[in-house]
Chains A and B, each alone.
Chain A
Amino acid sequence: MKKLMMLGLAAALVLSVAASAVAGATYDKVMKEKVVRAGLMTDSIPGGFYNEKKEWVGLDVDIAKEIAKRLGCKIEMVPVNNKTRISFLQTGRIDMSLSNMTHKRERDKSIDFSITYFFDGQKMLAPKGKFHSLKDFVGKRVAVQQGTTSEINVKNLLLSLGDKAPKVISFQKEPECFQALQMGRVDAWSTDSTILLGYAAQVPGKYELVGDFFSNEPYGIGLPQDDSAWRDLINFTIQDMWKDGTYKELYNKWYGPDTKYYFPLTEKIEMWP
């Protein structure tokens, strides 16, 4: 009996010691360990996904590798999804998250963001020739991914177009949305246009993007809250990449005119003099 109690006490002590060890600031830690841990998507085409050879590739992956190279660090790639990306940042599992993250005021309350490194907006993907403008989607069923901002954008759009009860169905993952569109359960799938392009390119000629952008989706690199040294470093690195053309090179590798996912780069990132 006594032994048991001692064991219990010891366990409690170990737990409390472990809990009181607080992690240091991200900047110091990365500079000391020379390892930067990046959260990346695994099922977002062409942001971050596994190709046929089961290699992890994509624009976000390339950018993360480039950032790590410029910081003189090794990269540790951590798979995240729309459920894990924020809490991984909050608990310090990753140092930065490049995972289709729209910079939103509400989200900025919990984590920090870099300057916008990718410009996107939301569109509708629908079977070719069936719809011509956003107005046509009133009363139709639209698929979205749960845990993203696109869900609210679509609802607001449909409400503003006069749809009284928008039929928005949300799935856990992007492939599920596309599957629902393919089997005709939904009339359209809405999310950031580059993701839609990635999926539509898998079955060429069957699906098209309809209407204009109806939301602005500036992607930022998600960063831990309240670490300005780290945030500055990331911001400067992105700007450096833009300045010497590396960014464009990487961008064209994935979204250039010769790729399946052609998406012209029309905007400029924020440059500080």
Chain B
Amino acid sequence: MINRYLEKEWFQYLCLAVIAGAFIYYFGWVFNFGYKFDWSVLFTKNATYGQVFGKMLLTGLQKTIIITILSSIIALGLGIVFGLGRLSQFKPVNWFSTCYVEFFRNTPLLVQLFFWYFALPVGLPEAARDFLFDRNYEMIAATVGLGIYTSSFMAEIIRAGIQSIPKGLLEASYSSGLSPFQTLTKIILPLAFRSIIPPLGSEFLNNMKNSSLAMVVGVAELCWSSQQIESLTFKGFEATTAATVLYLSLSLIIAGILNLVNFKMQIIPQQLKTTKHLIADAFFWPVTSIFSLCSKASRKFFRKRQEDFNLTRTQAMRRAVLHTTAKVFSFIWKAVFIIFIASVIIAAGIGISHFNFGVIRDNFMTLLIWRFPNGGPNEVLWGLGGLSYSILMSIIAIVVSFIIGLVVGVARTSKNKLFLIPSTLYIEIIRGNPLIMVIFWVYFFVPILTDTYLDVFWSATIALTIFTGAYLGEIVRSGIQNLPVGQFEAAASTGLTYFQTMRKIIIPQALKQMLPAIVGQFITIFKDSSLAYVIGVLELTFVAQGINNRLMIYPFEIYTTIAALYFICCYLMSIVARRLERKLSTDTFRLQM
């Protein structure tokens, strides 16, 4: 009886409305928050401090947008360079690009930002430092650091996109007489970009959200502003809500633009175009019109230059000279590149040889386990901390979020609105916000909601779990949707129920496809556990800061050590991921340029 009703769409909406109404009633009138809401703090002038805090949020938003745009440009540029670099046949370039990508992908952004801001200037000559410090170095460090971090992810996406182009297309383009450069710009990049727009888009989103970390190097962006309001007025709930709404709207706008890009990129005949395509066309008209103008002009210019097989002597000479110069230039730049790499390695070697290794040795155990097992009686887990704490947090988050992700991901593919809408809301709201905001929310809200006291360790772990659950949900959904529809039809026609189909047919196959992505997500959690430092969890970054605080004069040694520790753990995981990817993929062909 109830099952038949549950299939009706109006009934599903009714149920959702009732549940939503009950929530609103309960939290609006019945529930005692033990907290007085005062939204006016956002838009009235505060008597003590003489300023309107809403304005502070808007200035923060402005900074967030500026960092996001600039770092996206840097990230895309560097991403293309290093993505192509990883496909280069010139080994040093290939090797350097691989190191770049692996290093920046496998250390936490937080540690990188600390390095760019606190450690790098110390190593620079005085003049360069003064030059940087005369400018807004906080902003520069945050923007460039963020750009470099994101670029390492974009490089991987671009490499994968390019490698996914069928070999036949390349053979065709070379045999039709296109030069390598033409092949790159006319065939490879346009095709590759089409297939990588979705993952690239989510990198742009991540980039925007990661800009919230700029606050740790003193940039007054959106997250900073909400924290500032909280600490000045103790109205954390109001400030955090406002910042969350702003972050969500930014995410929605970026997602909207990416969607339009997607529509614009689709190759479909004129008569099949929907209004969405027309909107996309209109939106990108200013850009495309410039491009078409340029290409028209260039076509006119180049058409005149016709090649003749019977070259005159001068023409042949000119060609030969051009050819040799090209060779010489290529040799020169290769030499310069090798010298550059050698000097980087030597500089790094000299820097490391000046390290005070005693400092690292003395504090290594502290970094690994803090003061375990000699902790105070009230400490979580006998005084465990440092790297083992980060690992523990990630393991708990991984295990629990995997279950959440599976449930939410399956619900997201369901036709039943009762499951679809709540899971979509959960995924989109969490994914639209920076992790640091989720950490603040859990830390701030769970104690009020449950009236229990959470240790910061648990608070951060719950936040990590909730955050990762949303991402895994999306991975599961795409895994399920990637399976051919025939599988569902076959299962249904053999008389399996929905749950049987999911459990026995769909999930096992989907999981196999999703494994690399899931391992990638685990690497991300492990790196992100460093953010728990903000609320004072004794994980690796926090312990390192504590040691740095006591020793004062060895920032390089300590930052390098923790960067190496994070890198080793993440890199091991990414090796596993790559093995899995290779094992699970049927297509072993790798393209080279």
Contact = CB atoms under 8 A, between A and B. Distances in A.
B129 A182 contact: no
| Closest 4 A/B residue pairs (Cβ) | A147-B231, A175-B549, A91-B447, A93-B453
Contacts of B122: 183
Contact-residue size bin, chain B (C-beta under 8 Å from the other chain):
35 or more
Contact of B231 (A83, A105, A176): A83
A148 B371 CA distance: 30
A179 B555 contact: yes
A170 B223 CA distance: 13
Contacts of B32: 19-20, 22
A1 interface: yes
Nearest to B220: A170
Contact of A172 (B6, B233, B534): B534
Interface of A: 1-2, 15-16, 18-23, 42-43, 45, 49-52, 54, 56, 76-84, 86-88, 90-93, 104-107, 109-111, 143, 146-148, 152, 169-176, 178-180, 182-185, 199, 202-203
Contacts of A43: 545-546, 549
Contacts of B292: none
A223 to B, nearest CB: 14
22 contacts: A1-B3, A15-B449, A19-B449, A19-B450, A21-B451, A22-B32, A42-B536, A83-B231, A91-B34, A106-B232, A146-B227, A146-B231, A170-B224, A173-B545, A175-B548, A179-B118, A183-B121, A183-B129, A185-B133, A199-B552, A203-B552, A203-B553
Contacts of B548: 175, 179
Given A146-B224, A172-B215, A202-B552, A105 B545 contact: no
B536 A79 contact: yes
| Candidate in B2, B448, B456 with the most chain A CB atoms within 10 angstroms | B456
Contacts of A111: 234
A93 B6 CA distance: 43
Given A83-B231, A176-B216, A183-B129, 7 more contacts: A22-B32, A45-B549, A50-B546, A56-B376, A83-B534, A106-B232, A183-B118
B309 interface: no
A194 B230 CA distance: 25
Contacts, number: 149
Contacts of B6: 1
A42 B546 contact: yes
| Candidate in B3, B231, B370, B376 with the most chain A CB atoms within 10 angstroms | B231
| Candidate in B377, B453, B555 with the most chain A CB atoms within 10 angstroms | B453
A259 to B, nearest CB: 16
B29 interface: no
Contacts of A202: 550, 552
Contacts of A22: 32, 34, 451
B231 A84 contact: no
B31 A19 contact: yes
A23 to B, nearest CB: 7
B415 to A, nearest CB: 14
B206 interface: no
A169 B138 CA distance: 9
Contacts of B35: 90
Contacts of B447: 87, 91-93
Contacts of B2: 1-2
Contacts of B224: 146, 170
B129 A184 contact: yes
A196 B140 CA distance: 28
A12 B231 CA distance: 33
B364 to A, nearest CB: 13
Contacts of A23: 451
B133 A184 contact: yes
Interface of B: 2-3, 6, 26, 31-32, 34-35, 48-49, 118, 121-122, 129, 133, 137-138, 215-218, 220, 224, 227-228, 230-234, 236, 366, 370-371, 374, 376-378, 443-444, 447-454, 456, 534-536, 538, 545-546, 548-550, 552-553, 555
A45 B433 CA distance: 35
Contacts of A173: 545, 549
Contacts of B138: 169
Contacts of A106: 48-49, 232-233
B121 A83 contact: no
Contacts of A76: 377-378
A161 to B, nearest CB: 18
Contacts of A42: 536, 546
A105 B48 contact: yes
A169 B121 CA distance: 17
Contact of B550 (A52, A56, A93, A203): A52
B370 to A, nearest CB: 7
Contacts of A88: 453
B545 A175 contact: yes
Contacts of A52: 550
Contacts of B536: 42, 79-81, 83-84
Given A83-B535, A90-B35, A54 B450 contact: no
Contacts of B546: 42-43, 50
B366 A54 contact: yes
B121 A91 contact: no
B31 A182 contact: no
Contacts of B118: 176, 179-180, 183
Contacts of A16: 26, 31
Given A80-B536, A91-B453, A152-B49, A146 B228 contact: yes
B384 to A, nearest CB: 12
A84 B228 contact: no
Contacts of B443: 84, 87
A95 B552 CA distance: 33
B442 to A, nearest CB: 12
A66 to B, nearest CB: 17
Contacts of B366: 54
B301 to A, nearest CB: 51
A180 to B, nearest CB: 7
A83 B550 CA distance: 21
A91 B133 CA distance: 42
Contacts of B549: 43, 45, 49, 173-175, 178
Contacts of A105: 48
Contacts of A185: 121, 133, 137
B444 A87 contact: yes
A171 B218 contact: yes
Nearest to A175: B549
A183 B371 CA distance: 30
Contacts of B217: 171
A92 B137 contact: no
A180 B48 CA distance: 29
A45 B451 CA distance: 33
A202 B553 CA distance: 9
| Candidate in B220, B378, B536 with the most chain A CB atoms within 10 angstroms | B536
